[in-house]
Structures are given as C-alpha cells and as structure tokens.
Structure 1
Amino acid sequence: MIKKLIFAMSFFMVIAVSGQKMNDKDAVTAAAEKLRLAMISGEKPALESLILPELTYGHSGGNIDDATEFVEKLVSKKSDFVTIDITNQNINIVGNTAILRHHFYATTADAGKTPGDVTLDILLVWVKIKNDWKLLARQAVKSEKKK
C-alpha cells in the first residue's frame, strides 16, 4: 500500500513539474512578445518593466548597451524599429532561467534615416523574478537571410 501511495505521489509531482515548465514557456513567450512590441513602440515604461537593471544588450556590430542605454536608444528613436518579425523561436528553461533563441527580421528607421533591413539571430536570457520573467542578457549575430 505504501509503495502505491509513493508511486502515486511521485506521478503527480512529475505531472505538476511538467505543467509548470509549459506554463513557464508560455510566460517567456508572452514576455518576449511584449519586448518585441515595446521595442517597436519605444514606450519607456513598457521597456523598463521587462528588463533587469543588470541588463547587458549585445548588438551584432559588437556594441554592448546597459539597461539605461538600451531603453534610451529606443525611446529617443536613435534605434527605431518600424517592424520586427520573429521566427524559429526555441525556449529552454533551466530552473529560473530561460534561454530563448530566435531569428529576428526587422525594418529600421534609426534616427530618422531611410528605412533599412536587419536580419539577425538572437539569444535572450530571461530570469524569473517572483512570477515575472525579466530580460537579463541579449546577444545578436548577423544572419545571412530571412529564415
């Protein structure tokens, strides 16, 4: 009888943990979508609500921004995303950390310049703080074509 009870409890724990992983993946997907929209809108409160103060934001050209620089460039339109399309997204959760990779295709109008196109592969590192997922790190590399 005790073996059956232990087996049943173990089974339910596995189900609960599996369900939590899926809920976390959904939550990270939602946070990444909010970030995409905030990067297009350049709305300061939206951007700040999604990132940690310790953010390190790596550009494909090698520049690295901290949290303040990241937000300021988008709010001032120094970095201006007109559109952002995300494809091939993959999320792997380890504890309270989510590693998200995706392909990023955007139209830009940085500092009012003629629109340009950007094609990148992105790595995002999200950390779960209480019940919210916050961006800790981002690194972009240039990609040859839209996937």
Structure 2
Amino acid sequence: MIKKFIFAVSFLIVIAVSAQKKNDSELVTEVSEKLRLAMVSGEKTALESLILPELTYGHSGGHIDDAKEFVDKLVSKKSDFVTIDITNQNVQVVGNTAIVRHHLYATTADAGKAPGDVSLDIVLVWVKMKKDWKLLARQAVKAK
C-alpha cells in the first residue's frame, strides 16, 4: 500500500514538473514573439517591457548595445526592421533561465537607407522575474 502511494505521488510530481517546464517553454515562445513584434514596430513601451535594465545586445558585427541603446536605435529607426521572420526556433528552460536559439531573416531600412536583407543566427537569454520573462542577453552571428 505504501509503495503504491509513493509511486502515485512520485508520478504526480513528475507530471507537475513536466507541465511546468512545458508552460514555461510556451511562455518563453510567446515573449520571444512579442520581442519580434516590438522590434518591428519600434514601440518604446513594448520594447522596455520585455527587457532588463542590464540587457546586453550583441550585433553580428561585434557592436554591443546596452538596454538604452537597444531601445533608442529601434525607436529612432536608426535600426529599422521592416520585417522579421523567425525559423528553426529552439527553447530550453533551465530553472529561471531560458535559452532561445533561432534563425532570423529580416528586411531592414536602417536610418532611411534602401532596404537590405539580413540573415542571422540568434541566441536569446531570458530570465524569469516573478512570473514574467525578461530579456537579459542577445547575441547575433552571421548565418553560414
């Protein structure tokens, strides 16, 4: 009887932990989509709501933005994403941290320049703060 009870409780714990990880994975996928949309819109409030003040945002060319520079460039259209398409996304949740890897293909019109095309591989690091996921780090590399 005790063995059956222990087995049942263990089974329920495994189910609960699996459900939590799935839920966090879904939430990180959703917040990653919100980031994509905010980067296209350049809406300051939306961008600021998704990031931590300690954000480090690495560009494929080597330049690193802090949170203020990241937001300012998108709001001012100095960095202007006309479209962003995400493919091959993988989300891994480890405790209160999530690592998202994906391929980004975008059309840009930076500072009013003629449209350009960008193909990058991206890694995002999200941190769970209470119940919200916030972007701590992003790094882009040119896709091969």
TM-score band (shorter)?
over 0.9
Cα-Cα RMSD = 0.6
- In the other structure, the counterpart of 1:135 is 135
CA distance in 2, matches of 1:16, 1:118: 41
Q: Which residue of 2 aligns with 1:66?
A: 66
**Residue matched to 1:28:** 28
Aligned-pair CA distance for 1:54: 0.5
Q: CA deviation at 1:90?
A: 0.4
Counterpart residue number, 1:19: 19
Name the CA distance, whole Å, in 1 between partners of 2:128 and 2:53: 14
Match of 2:117 in 1: 117
CA distance in 1, matches of 2:7, 2:134: 36
| Superposed structure 1 runs of 4+ greater than 2 Å apart | none
Q: CA deviation at 1:96?
A: 0.6
Q: Give the CA deviation at 1:108.
A: 0.2
Gaps of 5+ in 1: none
Amino acid at match of 1:25: S
Per-residue deviation, 1:136: 0.3
- Alignment pair present for 1:47 and 2:33: no
For 1:121, give the aligned amino acid: D
**Structure 2 length-normalised TM:** 0.99
Distance (whole Å) between structure 2 residues aligned to residue 37 and residue 91 of structure 1 = 18
What aligned pairs does 1:75-86 form with structure 2 within 5 A after superposition?
75-86=75-86
* Deviation for aligned residue 1:67: 0.4
Could you tell me how far 1:4 is from its partner in structure 2? Answer: 1.2
SS at match of 1:61: coil
AA aligned to 1:86 is I
CA distance in 1, matches of 2:95, 2:25: 12
Q: Secondary structure at the match of 1:49?
A: helix
> Separation in 1 of the partners of 2:88 and 2:61?
22
Counterpart secondary structure, 1:79: coil
Q: Distance in 1 between matches of 2:56 and 2:125?
A: 10
Match of 2:3 in 1: 3
Superposition deviation, residue 5 in structure 1: 1.0
The share of aligned pairs that are identical, in percent, is 80
In the TM superposition, what is the alpha-carbon distance from 1:78 to its structure 2 partner?
0.3
The number of aligned residues is 144
Report how far residue 6 of structure 1 moved.
1.1
